[in-house]
Structure 1
Amino acid sequence: MSRGLLFSAGAAALLLSSPAAVFAEEGGEAVRTAPVEVDSVVVLSAAEALPGELLNGKAKLGIQGDRSVMDIPYSQMSLTAKTLELFHDPSLPLGNVLQNNPSIRSSTSSPMYSDFSVRGVNMNGNHMMLNGIPSLFSQFTTPPSHVIERIDITSGPNAGVNGVSMSNNGTDSGATPAPGTINVVTKSAPNVDVNRVTGTFSGRGNVGAYVDVARRFGEDKAWGLRVNGEHLKGELSLPGAENNSVNLFANLDHRSERSATNLFAGYFDLRINGGQRWFTFSGTGAKLPTAPDAKTNYDFPETTKLMYGYVVALNHEQRLTDRWSLFANYGAMEKQGYKYNSSSALRFNDAGAFVTSNVSNAQVEATENQYAQIGLRGRFDTGPVKHSVALAVDYSLAKYWNDTNNSATGLIGGGLYSGVAYGARFYPLPARRAAVLQWNEKNTGVTLSDVVSLGKVDVLLAASQKNENFLNALNGQRIENDNILPTYGVTYRVSPTISIYAGHTESFSRGAMVGNDARYVNRGLVLAPMKATQDEVGLKVMRGGMLTTLAVFDMDQQNLIDVVVSPTTFRREADGKNRYRGAEVSTVGRLTDRVTVTVGGLYLDAEREKTNGGAADGKFVNGASKWSGTAGLEYRLIDAVGLVGRAVYNGEAFIDSGTNGRTEIPSFVAFDVGANYRATVASRPIRLSAMVFNATNQSYWMGRGGSTTFGLSMPRTLMLSVQADF
């Protein structure tokens, strides 16, 4: 791990010694340090909070840098740290707060995973960027919430504007995500000192301690350092499940009139005990059996998943003239760990009895990712036409090691309502062995974009040429291809508060690699390349402290299925494509002086096309609900006291099963309620809050976009927190 860390530290020293960059800030936590005039993709850029402070008014437009959300030709929502503060429990998956965006639904309640769906397509931590840098997280690891200043959520066509990312950046280990990307911006030091401690209590005994210390120093406070640490340990509301997390991160930045530099780096150690809650259905019923009590634990006692490592993100922008600047990004991540669990989702019949043959699984894995980008950004005019251009060159390298050792196959007994019974053949647990290199991948790319402005019209033209070089280390198979990913869009500003837009994007990358799992008869093979497209038209209105966005979209993505070969084996295959058409609407902002709301809904018509022999053409996409929505509220009774509420709705979805070829996953509505209190004690501010997630203690199934597997909800969870500044 030391090589990447030393490289980053050395590069940071060189960049930070250059003439320094400018950040403008008015002091306090609500205003972010940000470069003046230079809209930067690489440094922590302006995040001007909209009324109500649940959203930012600017978000990332790829290598073009930060732009007003009114000027971006696709659906974009930038969540603030306040949104996390109000609606998130740090012991639960980050998807819990992401679903404030109407296009996102959480696919899991367990912190053992990070899965969520965007417009019906399953995604996870692999799809998250850190300060504009891709491929630093995974299905298990996501950015910890206590380091996040904002989350830019793109649920629209932007594949060709960000530069080149790894083709393993997907839950299917192949596709660049069709529905969009999620960029996390980390906290940096504000102009005022921060000395903050926070304590949390959640579930049945999960206790968290957090420190947040920030200083600006040097001439004109050009240097800033912010340190965030977490120690989280104890049992979740699900009996027997634990979230144990220790991490420490530092954000160092330097600013002056000519350049801006930011270095974020840290170490994490994450261990989740229990909490594996994936299921499949083998019955014939038209609807899944009633969900069991969400408190039921289906793990064997040794179920665990551990991952530790480091993350580095280095960003720099050097201003050459008033119109031109150079920028550079570098990122590195190394992690390793292991897990003990059952190797597949638990399969049950119409009566809820488990009928699956299963094994205990010892898996050891490690990952190394590096990413580098250098580019030029500038502005020029051709007559009355204004151009904002950006050119970037990218390089990425990824390696993945894995070994899976299974016990003898045995039948799991018990059922949904009585609990699981693991037979004697489950033990002794298999030994952990040394991980073996599975694959390595090198990508290079060039991205060019131009925002052409004439009067009230902005036209975005962008394309990435991506060269992939993938080596399957299991069988020596090498895959090389060159792809061009075009993106274009147009925005028309009807007025300063109203804009209409349209956009298109395409992505193309190597096919999924079938995991080295004994369940797959074609394990280790790489499937055919994958292509995805997306089109969107929309309307954005900023009125009276409220931002309203309406988007209509049409996108597709390759469909992957598991074909049953025997009761215990499958063949992973591509089967046509899934097509997603729908409409999305959201309204967020300050409704009155004391009421802030976030409301949104999604209509999704998802069906399969061009399947093998047309056998499944027109059929539903597994796990994708037609209707879903979120409604959240903060009401300040008085300045010191606030009430919080949220409802999350997921409509019925279907999976391939049953006598008619489909089984319904029932709809659900989950409610979260809470309150917070602000006070000053001995001239020091404190904040007390209480939140109850799944307040009605419902037990419900959670669909997973594009998959026949599904999850089970977490039981009612109480979270208490106290925050004090010194």
Structure 2
Amino acid sequence: MSGIAASILGGYEVQASNVTTLDEVVVNSDKYRNNANDDVAKSTLPGGYTQTEGDFGYTGKKSTMDVPYTQVNLSRKTMETFGENAGKPFAAMLSTVPGVRNTATALHSDYYIRGIKLNGTSLTLNGVPLMFTQFSTPTFMIDHINVLEGPNLGVSGTAPTYESTPAAGVVNMVSKKATEAPITSYKQVFSGKSGFAEYLDVGRRFGKDNSWGIRVNTEVQDGNPTQYDAHIRARGIYVNIDHKSDKSNTNFLIGERLYRVDNGGRWFKFVQSKKYRSGIRFLPSAPDSSNGYGYEGMSKRNRDFEMILNHEQKFNEHVSAFVNGGYNFNHMYRNAAPASSRFWIYNDQGLLGDGNGTAGGYNSETPQHCYYFQGGFKFDYDIGNVKNNTIVSLDRSYVYMDNGRLGKYITYKAGEGTLNTGFSGVPNVPIPEYSYYRRTVNRYKGWSVIDNLSYGKAEFMVGFHRHDASVNTKKQDGSYDKSVNSHATMPTYGFTYKPNDNMSVYYGHSEYFDQGTAVSGMAGNGKPYLNDGDVIAPAKTKMDEIGFKYLKNGTLNTLSFFETKQAQTLDVWSDKSNGWYKWNAGQQKYRGVEWTIQGKIAPKWNVLGGLMYEKATREKGISDANGLSLNGKKIQPSWHATAALEYNPNEQWTILGRVEYTGSSDMYPFMDTDNSVKFRVPSYTTFDLGASYNTKIGGVKTTFTLMIDNLFNKDYWVLYNTNDLHLSDPRTVWLSAKFEF
């Protein structure tokens, strides 16, 4: 835990000799600053978990106090403490933000922002979208993460997506760069039953005035980092090269990761077929989370390769230009699992099968290529006493997805089991070799104009974004099958007023517009959708937020009230056709209040967390075959609270405890086919506890960390996708040793 080690060396007891105050931002230690991007570390709050400055899309770095939305900037310390060890998915670190709920597993990087589902495909990496997938989301080469709840297109440009939508906000991951001080660190981690991991981090600056920098990060994982039957194997290397001068800044990131998970399934759903509904009357209790739900041959294997370039050129004090570009090749070359990656629950006793009432398991491959380019200009100028910062940008992106010529899925009988005994089986067909054809071709082009105006104590932001999307599907012979073109123009605007240096009040409005959805894949009955190949019209999302921020003595509080309305693409059952359709059939509404707190609460005590309450309901929805709708019914948990407390008794020791609460929620297991059936998913509270000790061994700075996740071994269901369930992870102990040379 490099961040914890850093905080230990610097200490959190504020001393006049080692603290610098810059606009109420406390710098804790030179060690933390030397191991983070220098410009970010200067704004680090006490505790080292968050910063008060972060990237606000292509508008550049801004103080959180000037952003008219809720923004939390998570540091490297947060990643290492809550997400990078014990085989945990990256979404575990995001749930330190009260507006973010973690629904991820070792197989899927899913999470919710204010009730709206996202996953790795919704992320941006150094401001470039579609560099990650739902399956593989590494963070070992990441320095910090900006979590911006609300606007997306208005401050970042076109956001092509698949599988999920970033309508709820921007989660931007920023790569590590070489710092002024040389970096050489090596970390080993042991967790769970047999999980081993090694991380190497080397950074140097060179050239005249240290204008060039290179940072290399590597990862090796092997074994079972959990207490249930799973095996994770990962190999990764990323190289970041940057150059800075008086007139320009350039950054280039290149890397590749191979990630493999055998077994590890934690995703469950009730069989949708009417044949079995009479035996499904209630939600079974969450089983022992140490149960294994894998079988011989169950495996997901993925290769992810990225290249990203960012360049900014300053022509004079008033005009500059920027370019952002990226390429991603992602190949899930083995995806063998039960139907739709879920284990299917057949009755109240928890009988499990590999298919949704049909012959079951499947294997597929999904190669894809993504290209992105963005270019624009920034203008700084004054009109009287009004300062203007205007950004004009254009972007282009292309997403190419391939399918196997043998068919989308190779089906086979995987096995069976129960919730209490686990799942076992041996596939009874060989997995064939694939050849591919280009099935989906999506193209996007967009433009954005945004102006930030400052006058006295007030700031105004107003902008417009438009993009045109072309979503196409092809046949095996290369001819186009289905296509649709769509476009829209959306405003983004906000207002911030700071009566003094410690306080700001704000209002923000943002909108999101997706590209339309090409219907593909398997429906809930394990068969293709009846409108497979059709393209659904784009859906819009609108969000309004009003809030208050207060920063003083190293503590930042944000209180916000929000409302989001989102058009909804749903699976709809047809009795007449005896199958599923997918189309825009309703609207979701999310109203709530969120409070976040970051920084110091007392000498030697630091905190990260907060509380969110929201009412998430479906509006304007369709009725099921019985004429019953879900309009006005709750579809997500109302409460999410999280608090990480850190205590530093001296410069060597750090003691950390974390509690997280997620409220109960209703689920409708046969949503939109029989809305009369409703189950209650219970609330749950988890506790984590750990400590780290900083010392020197042979003159080498060394940090030992011991952490226990899910301290009381709580078994619980996680509501996912409104009518799906993920099973919790059991208590897991992990130990790490980090050496900084």
Please say whether Structure 1 and Structure 2 have the same fold, judged by a TM-score greater than 0.5. yes
**Equivalent residue letter for 2:489:** I
Question: Structure 2: how far apart are the matches of 1:238 and 1:560?
Answer: 37
> Does 1:689 find its partner at 2:705?
yes
* Correspondence for 1:490: 495
Deviations 1:276-329 (A, max 9, x none): 211113567775211001111122211111111311111111111122211111
CA distance in 1, matches of 2:287, 2:433: 33
Residue 568 to residue 642, structure 1, CA distance change in 2 (3 Å): farther
Contact 2:231 2:261 in 1 (8 A): yes
The question of whether the paired residues in 1 share the 8 Å contact of 2:152 and 2:166 is answered with no
How far residue 158 of structure 1 moved from its aligned partner, in angstroms, is 3.9
The 1:218/1:303 distance shift into structure 2, 3 A limit, reads: same
Number of the residue aligned with 2:317: 322
1:149 partnered with 2:143: yes
Q: Which residue, 345, 348, 352 being the options, matches 1:350?
A: 348
Q: SS at the partner of 1:146?
A: coil
- 8 A Cα contact 2:34 2:181, kept in partner: no
C-alpha separation in 1, matches of 2:433 and 2:565: 40
Instruction: Find the counterpart in structure 2 of residue 258 from structure 1.
Output: 247
The answer to whether the aligner puts 1:86 opposite 2:87 as a matched pair is no
Corresponding residue for 1:471?
472
> 2:84·2:140 contact (CA, 8 Å) conserved in 1?
no
Aligned runs of 1:190-269 on 2, under 5 Å?
190-269=179-258
The alignment's TM-score, normalised by the length of structure 2, stands at 0.88
Q: Give me the whole-angstrom Cα distance separating, in 1, the residues matched to 2:97 and 2:281.
A: 31
Query: Contact 1:148–1:184 at 8 Å: present in 2 too?
Result: yes
Using the TM superposition, name which of 238-247 and 640-649 deviates more.
Answer: 238-247
Alignment partners' CA distance in 2, 1:354 and 1:187: 44
For residues 478 and 460 of structure 1, what CA distance do their matches in structure 2 show?
A: 36
- Between the aligned partners of 2:428 and 2:252, the Cα distance in structure 1 is 47
In structure 2, C-alpha distance between the alignment counterparts of 1:297 and 1:429, rounded to whole Å: 23
8 A contact 1:360–1:429 mirrored in 2: no
Provide the rounded CA distance (Å) in 2 between the counterparts of 1:433 and 1:85: 38
Identity of aligned residues (%): 29
Q: Which amino acid aligns with 1:505?
A: S
Per the alignment, in what secondary structure is the counterpart of residue 51 of structure 2?
coil
Q: Provide the rounded CA distance (Å) in 1 between the counterparts of 2:317 and 2:486.
A: 39
Gaps of 5+ in 1: 1-24, 36-43
| Per-residue deviation, residues 378-399 of structure 1 (Å, max 9, x unmatched) | 2111111111111111111111
Mapped to 1, the partners of 2:415 and 2:701 lie a distance apart of: 54
CA RMSD of aligned residues (A): 2.3
1:616 equivalent among 613, 629, 642? 629
**Paired residue type of 1:530:** A
Cα separation, 1, equivalents of 2:94 and 2:319: 35
Equivalent of residue 538 in structure 2, options 529, 534, 541: 529
1:599-632 deviations in Å (ceiling 9; x for gaps): 211111011111126942534354x101111011
Q: 1:599 maps to which residue? A: 609
Distance 1:685 1:407 in 2: 52
Distance in 1 (alpha carbons) for counterparts of 2:567 and 2:587: 4
Secondary structure, aligned partner of 2:134:
coil
Structure 2: gaps spanning 5 or more residues? 1-26, 272-276
Does the CA contact (< 8 Å) of 2:486 and 2:516 recur in 1? Answer: no
Code of the residue aligned with 1:439 in structure 2: it is: T
- SS at structure 1 position matched to 2:140: helix
Q: Distance in 1 between matches of 2:578 and 2:134?
A: 24
Q: Once the 2 structures are TM-superposed, how far is the Cα of residue 412 of structure 1 from its aligned partner?
A: 5.5
Q: Is the 8 A contact 1:407 1:429 kept in 2?
A: no
Q: In the alignment, what sits opposite 1:13?
A: none
1:31-70 deviation digits (Å, cap 9, x = unpaired): 57879xxxxxxxx867621222211111122221110000
CA contact (8 A) 1:189 1:225 kept: yes
Q: Distance in 2 between matches of 1:28 and 1:693?
A: 27
- Counterpart residue identity of residue 701, structure 1: W
In structure 2, what is the equivalent of residue 652 of structure 1? 664
Instruction: Give the corresponding residue for 1:513.
Output: 518
Distance 1:263 1:47 in 2: 23
List per-residue Cα deviations over 1:205-234 (Å, max 9, x = no partner). 110111111111111111111100001111
In structure 1, the residue matched to 2:557 is 548
Q: Deviations over 1:225-282 (max 9, x none)?
A: 1100001111132433111110111111111111111111111111111112111135
Q: Deviations over 1:468-499 (max 9, x none)?
A: 12212246222112211210010011211110
What does residue 30 of structure 1 align with?
33
Change (3 A) 1:408 1:480: closer
- 1:114-513 alignment to 2 at 5 Å? 114-142=109-137, 144-166=138-160, 169-172=161-164, 176-281=165-270, 288-336=283-331, 337-344=333-340, 345-348=342-345, 349-354=347-352, 356-357=356-357, 358-403=359-404, 406=409, 413-422=416-425, 426-474=427-475, 476-513=481-518
Change (3 A) 1:238 1:568: farther
The whole-number CA distance in structure 1 between the counterparts of 2:78 and 2:41 is 17
Which piece of structure 1 moves more, 546-555 or 588-597?
A: 588-597
Amino acid aligned to 1:484: T
Deviation at 1:682, TM superposition (A): 2.5
Matched, 1:725 2:740: yes
State the Cα distance separating 1:432 from its structure 2 match: 4.1
CA deviations 1:363-419 (Å, max 9, x no partner) are 011111111111111211111111111111111111111335545576964321122
Structure 1 SS opposite 2:47: coil
Q: Is the 8 A contact 2:52 2:63 kept in 1?
A: yes
Is 1:100 the counterpart of 2:101? The answer is: no
Q: How do residues 669-684 of structure 1 correspond to structure 2 at under 5 angstroms? A: 669-684=685-700
CA offset at residue 421 of structure 1? 4.9
Q: Which 10-residue stretch deviates more, 529-538 or 557-566?
A: 557-566
Query: Whole-Å Cα distance in 1 between the matches of residues 702 and 336 of structure 2?
Result: 41
Question: Structure 1 residues 564 and 431, CA, compared in 2 at 3 Å: closer, same or farther?
Answer: farther
- Which letter maps to 1:709? D
SS for the counterpart of 2:127 is coil
Residue 293 of structure 1 aligns with an amino acid whose one-letter code is D
8 Å Cα contact 2:55/2:146 also seen in 1: yes
Contact in 2 for aligned 1:84/1:97 (Cα 8 Å): yes
**SS at 1:516's partner residue?**
coil
Is the contact between residue 590 and residue 615 of structure 2 (CA under 8 Å) also seen in structure 1?
yes
- CA apart distance, 1:653: 1.3
Q: Would you say the 8 A contact 2:568–2:584 is kept in 1?
A: yes
Counterpart residue identity of residue 646, structure 2: E
Structure 1 pair 625–270 and aligned structure 2 pair: CA distance change class (3 A) = same
Distance 1:405 1:261 in 2: 41
Do 1:556 and 1:580's aligned partners in 2 also have CA atoms closer than 8 Å?
yes
Measured against aligned partners, the alpha-carbon deviations of 1:13-41 in whole angstroms (never above 9, x if no partner) come to: xxxxxxxxxxxx99754257879xxxxxx
Residue 346 of structure 1 deviates from its aligned partner by: 2.4
8 A contact 1:514–1:524 mirrored in 2: yes
- Rate the CA distance shift 1:716–1:360 in 2: closer, same or farther, 3 A: same
Query: 1:178–1:555: 8 Å Cα contact kept in structure 2?
Result: no
CA contact (8 A) 1:222 1:254 kept: yes
Seen in structure 2, the aligned counterparts of structure 1 residues 87 and 407 have a Cα distance that, compared at 3 Å, is: closer
Give the Cα separation in 1 of the matches to 2:233 and 2:414. Answer: 31
TM-score scaled by structure 1?
0.90
CA deviation digits over 1:59-110, x for unaligned, max 9?
12222111000000001000001112222243210011110000111113x2
SS at match of 1:178: helix
Cα distance, 1:429 vs. partner? Answer: 4.1
Aligned-residue offset at 1:725: 1.4
- Secondary structure (helix, strand or coil) at the match of 1:612 reads coil
CA 1:209–1:34: 2 relative to 1, 3 Å: closer
- Measured in 2, the distance between the counterparts of 1:94 and 1:543 equals 30
Alignment partner of 2:647 out of 635, 641, 646:
635
Contact 1:158 1:487 in 2 (8 A): no
- In structure 2, what residue type is equivalent to 1:56? Q
